[in-house]
Chains A and B, each alone.
Chain A
Amino acid sequence: GEDVEQSLFLSVREGDSSVINCTYTDSSSTYLYWYKQEPGAGLQLLTYIFSNMDMKQDQRLTVLLNKKDKHLSLRIADTQTGDSAIYFCADLNQAGTALIFGKGTTLSVSS
């Protein structure tokens, strides 16, 4: 079946850039997403990228997609303590009806 994988932990210092990586198996993916979950809160959609794009930038967020290698990354510039959260990579399934999530990467930002 379709699978999405990402590393579980990332620790950075305030002001540095954070890069969270994700790999997926579904070659027919049309959209890939990044979600953020703050402690005790629900999921928040951060950004998404269409599969025919290589890059998408939105303020401090940069999404890179390598469709050949099925690799997606999220770069957060000038990381702040408020960015500490769990970040989920997700892939729209073949039927286009539901999202397949990775296990989430816990980003810890120290001051």
Chain B
Amino acid sequence: GAVVSQHPSRVICKSGTSVKIECRSLDFQATTMFWYRQFPKKSLMLMATSNEGSKATYEQGVEKDKFLINHASLTLSTLTVTSAHPEDSSFYICSSQSVTEAFFGQGTRLTVV
């Protein structure tokens, strides 16, 4: 079946640096990818919708200049956390879905020190 591959699975970075997370659809063309963030108390929050060839749509309260999303091809969407701070430490998950099925990346555990 269709698979979404997310990389890296874990990353530790210093405050002030930028981190890029990649999300690839392996067996299908994903015109839309979704980026979620999982907070320490386990709630999942939709951050943005990534659209191939156009600007991403951000949810209210998500800083678009801090969380840069690029969806340059039908198989790759990237999330870049810019000027990372310790409060950005979290679990980030990408997903592509239809109404009956969702495909999730493995998630990326980001730790900012």
Count contacts on A: residues with CB < 8 A to the other chain.
23
Indicate if A20 sits at the interface (CB-CB under 8 A).
no
Question: Do residues B43 and A97 form an inter-chain contact, with CB atoms below 8 A?
Answer: no
A-B CB contact pairs (8 Å), 18 listed: A8-B42, A30-B99, A31-B100, A41-B106, A42-B104, A42-B105, A43-B95, A43-B107, A45-B104, A48-B100, A97-B34, A99-B97, A101-B44, A101-B45, A102-B43, A103-B42, A104-B44, A106-B42
Q: Give the residues in chain A near B105, CB-CB below 8 Å.
A: 42
Hey, which bits of chain A sit against chain B, CB under 8 A?
A: 8, 30-31, 33, 41-45, 48, 86, 88, 92, 96-104, 106
What is the total of A-B residue contacts with beta carbons within 8 Å? 51
Q: Does B75 contact A (CB under 8 A)?
A: no
State the CA gap A42–B104 with chains docked (Å).
7
Sort chain B's interface into a size bin: 20 to 34
Q: Is A98 within 8 A of B46, CB to CB?
A: yes
- Asked whether B102 lies within 8 Å of A45 as measured between CB atoms, the reply is yes
Cβ of B49 within 8 Å of any chain A Cβ, yes or no, is yes
* CB 8 Å contact bits of B13-43 with A (1 = contact, 0 = none): 0000000000000000000101010000111
| Cα distance, A30 to B6, chains bound together (Å) | 28
Cβ-defined contact, A31 with B42, below 8 A: no
Q: Are A43 and B43 within 8 A (Cβ)?
A: no
